[in-house]
A and B are shown apart, each in its own frame.
Chain A
Amino acid sequence: MLTASKEIFAKYQDEALLARIREYPDVSAMWAACVRDYADLPAVVFDGETHTYADLDRDAAAFRTVLKNAGLTAGDRVCLLAPNSYLFVKAYLAAVTMGVTAAILPAQLDERSVFGCTMMFGAKAVVCHPDLEAKLSICKAKNVKTLSAADTAEEGTPAAEGLGEDFPCVIMFTGGTTGKSKGALLSHGAVMQGTVNGCYGYSEVFNQRYMLLLPLSHVFGLIRNLMTSLYTGSALFICRNNKDMFRDIAVFRPTILVIVPALAEMALNLSRQFGRNMLGPDLKYIICGAAAVAPYLVKEYLKMGIGLCPGYGLTESANLVSGNPDFANRPDSVGLMYPNQEYKIVDGELWLKGKNMMLGYVGDPAENAAAYEDGWFRTGDLVRFDEDGFLYITGRIKEVIILSNGENVSPAEVEARFNELPIVQDSQVFEDVDESGRHILALEVVPRMTELKKIDTPDPIAYLTAQLEAVNAGLPGYWQVNRITVRDSDFARTPSMKIVRYKKC
């Protein structure tokens, strides 16, 4: 077993800067220090309004009163359903600093899923952004307590003190090991470790300008982007609509962007097409993760004087466990392990332990049993280290497909939607590389001929394809496949008749 230490980063950061990176046991303790040190600095900029650390502290304290008046106390859970916004930040911070666990629901969930999550997570209430009110219809019909994130109170309620690192903090959605969507419960200690990890390896860390483009329902958005920004006394510009990101960048001039590789590539291509640096004159670092980063991206950004730093992490590890120091020039590595991380390699697979690791999947003992071995979390990623301690991902042994935009796709969940058609016998969703070298999500289907023959159509295969396309169009964007093939024979099967899954990437 190995444990990473802070010293390894001394090569990349000066002593005074390293000394400023302090650890706090819980978010309440961190936030108290932030308000003390940065009260009058801008914390969040959203919809043309700037909210200082003192403003956010006052608004969060008032929202703690709202939560308290609704009967919530430390140890309870609430679901938080909100798009990226100031109201999200306020409600999240209020809940976790009073010891209420925030189950953060992706904003695109439908009303059935919102109600399902509320039941699954045992939430006492749902805190909802006014824009998403319509998604509460089932919760309201079933008498689930609902609160508006826009609510406030005259008097503030103080934050809880002494929660400690083991106290539950957030529940985050993940595809996990087998792909079925579930909630990973992260402690305050885990969230804090993930937050502090965002400070290692760069020559400029504090008082930066961050921009939020990733959803706060993803650990990369919540922890590396929002939490590290707050921890470092930085200003966070929340982009309302990503299509306006470059207009926003021109005005806000961020110094750090936390994005997925597909967005980094998009920004590069747009800069080329329009002959100017679309990322603004002040950008120093792009923190890139949630999917594999193509080394050429690192090299291209270096030419523009921007350090693109790939990192590696999981929802279950409260975001990044490793990251590249700025300009370390190892474009194909995911960097050095962050301090305190316990790790070992078993048969090539990376196993993790430490306070950053989740407390477990909520209410899913079978998934928990499958995820751990002897107290170690099995990442499912095959890795190697070089002689300087840099980590490289060499393969993956899990079924989950990770798209270049960072979305985790569980093939089984997507297949289930196509399999609902009676004319479909079986299906397989997989990642493939097309003739031009692009990674695409592909679907192959075995028709159920007995049903298909009943359909009065001159071209049954064209009919089936049209039906599949209709299902595809109704799926969430990141589930939609780019190629549909109807097979004329069954898939290869294992002795237990399971489909032999393609491994094309």
Chain B
Amino acid sequence: MLTREDIIRKLKDILISADARNAAALQACTEDSKILTDLGLTSVGMLYMVIAIEETFNIRFDNVGMNDFVTLRDVVDYVENKLK
């Protein structure tokens, strides 16, 4: 069973791979980081994150919209719930 820390670590890897030029900022992100304004994720960046999360954690997102996730905490919560 993955711990919350494991999920965050893998999530960071995904985000850095989606946007390598922003690696420094992404490395420093916390659960409170806002996806849109702090991390600067675009709609395609969000799509990358969803696809990579599904692939990495072997889960399927339900029909979720970009605005359903405000902070990274929301994403981690969602993944954690799916893994239960």
Q: Footprint of B on A, CB under 8 Å?
A: 241-243, 245-246, 262-263, 265-266, 269-270, 272-274, 403-405, 434, 436-438, 440, 469, 472-474, 477-478, 480-484
Task: Give the most central of B20, B42, B46, B67: most A CB within 10 Å.
Answer: B42
Partner of A270, one of B21, B37, B42, B48: B48
Structural contact, A405 and B43, CB atoms closer than 8 A: yes
Nearest B residue to A260 via CB reads B44
Supply 8 further A-B pairs (C-beta < 8 A) apart from A272-B17, A404-B42.
A243-B47, A246-B51, A436-B21, A436-B25, A438-B22, A469-B37, A473-B36, A482-B37
In the complex, are the beta carbons of A483 and B40 less than 8 A apart? yes
Q: How far is the CA of A403 from the CA of B42 in the complex (A)?
A: 10
Residue numbers of B with Cβ under 8 A of A are: 14, 17-25, 34, 36-37, 40-44, 46-48, 50-52, 54-55, 61, 63, 66-67, 70
Residues of B within 8 A of A273 (CB): 14, 17, 52
Q: Are A482 and B17 in contact (CB under 8 A)?
A: no
Which residue of the partner chain, among A243, A405, A477, contacts B51 with CB atoms under 8 Å? A243
Query: How far is it, in angstroms, between the C-alpha of A481 and the C-alpha of B46 when the chains are bound?
Result: 14
Residues of A with C-beta under 8 A to B50: 243
Bound complex: CA of A272 vs CA of B17, how far in Å? Answer: 9
Contacts of A482 in B (CB 8 A): 36-37, 40-42
Nearest-neighbor residue (CB-CB) of A439 within chain B: B42
Do residues A269 and B48 form an inter-chain contact, with CB atoms below 8 A?
yes
| Chain B, Cβ-Cβ closest to A468 | B37
A266 to B47, Cβ gap below 8 A?
Answer: yes
**Are A477 and B66 in contact (CB-based, < 8 A)?**
yes
Residues of chain A lying within 8 A (CB to CB) of residue B24: 436
Given A405-B43, A438-B22: A270 in contact with B52 (beta carbons within 8 A):
yes
B64 and chain A: residue at smallest CB distance: A243
When the two chains form their complex, are residues A263 and B44 in contact, meaning their CB atoms are under 8 A apart? Answer: yes
Q: Name B53's closest neighbour in chain A (CB-CB).
A: A243
Query: Who on chain B is nearest to A482 by CB?
Result: B40
Judging by beta carbons under 8 Å apart, are B61 and A243 in contact? yes
Instruction: Find chain B residues with CB under 8 A from A440 CB.
Output: 40
Residue of B nearest to A443 (CB): B37
Q: Are B51 and A472 in contact (CB under 8 A)?
A: no
A482 to B50, CA, bound (A): 19
In the complex, are the beta carbons of B70 and A473 less than 8 A apart? yes
Dominant secondary structure at the A interface: helix
Q: Give the complex CA separation of A274 and B34 in angstroms.
A: 26
B52 in contact with A478 (CB, 8 Å): no
A132 shortest CB reach to chain B, Å: 15
Q: Which residues on the A side are within 8 Å of B25 (C-beta)?
A: 436
CA distance A246 to B66 in the complex (A): 19
A477 & B43 in contact (Cβ 8 Å cutoff): yes
> Quick check: B52 and A405 within 8 Å, CB to CB?
no
Roughly how many angstroms separate A263 CA and B48 CA in the complex, as a whole number?
9
The interface residues of chain A lying within 8 Å CB-to-CB of B70 are 473
B21 touches A266 (CB 8 A): no
Contact check, A269 vs B66: say whether CB atoms are below 8 A apart: no
| A474 neighbours in B (Cβ, 8 Å) | 67
Q: How far is the CA of A403 from the CA of B44 in the complex (A)?
A: 11
A484 to B34, CA, bound (A): 13
A191 to chain B, nearest CB (A): 28
A481 to B17 Cα, complex, angstroms: 22
For residue A444, give the distance in angstroms from its CB to the closest CB of chain B. Answer: 14
**Residue in contact with B67 in the complex, picked from A262, A263, A436, A473, CB distance below 8 Å:** A473
Q: Which residue of A lies closest to B51 (CB)?
A: A243
Contact partner of A243 (CB less than 8 A), chosen from B22, B34, B41, B54, is: B54
Complex: A437 Cα to B42 Cα, angstroms:
15
A263, A469, A482 — most chain B CB neighbours (10 Å): A482
**What is the bound-complex CA distance between A241 and B51, given in angstroms?**
11
Separation of A480 and B34 alpha carbons in the complex (Å): 13
- Indicate if the CB atoms of A262 and B36 lie closer than 8 Å: no
Q: Is the Cβ of A438 less than 8 Å from the Cβ of B21?
A: yes
Chain B, residue nearest A242 (CB): B47
* Highest count of chain A CB atoms <10 Å: which of B14, B46, B52: B52
- Residues in B whose Cβ lies below 8 Å from that of A478: 43
CB < 8 Å: which of A262, A274, A434, A484 contacts B44?
A: A262
Q: Is the CB of A472 within 8 A of B55?
A: no
Q: Closest approach, in angstroms, between the C-beta of A188 and any C-beta of chain B?
A: 33
* B44 to chain A: closest residue by CB: A262
B37 near A437: Cβ-Cβ < 8 Å: no
Which residue of chain A lies nearest to B18 when distances are taken between CB atoms in the complex? A269
| Distance (whole angstroms) from the CB of B68 to the closest CB of chain A | 11
A472 to B38, CA, bound (A): 13
Kindly list chain A residues whose C-beta atoms are within 8 Å of the C-beta of B42: 262, 403-405, 482
* Smallest CB separation, B41 vs chain A (Å): 8
7 A-B pairs with least C-beta separation: A482-B40, A262-B44, A477-B43, A436-B21, A273-B17, A436-B22, A266-B48
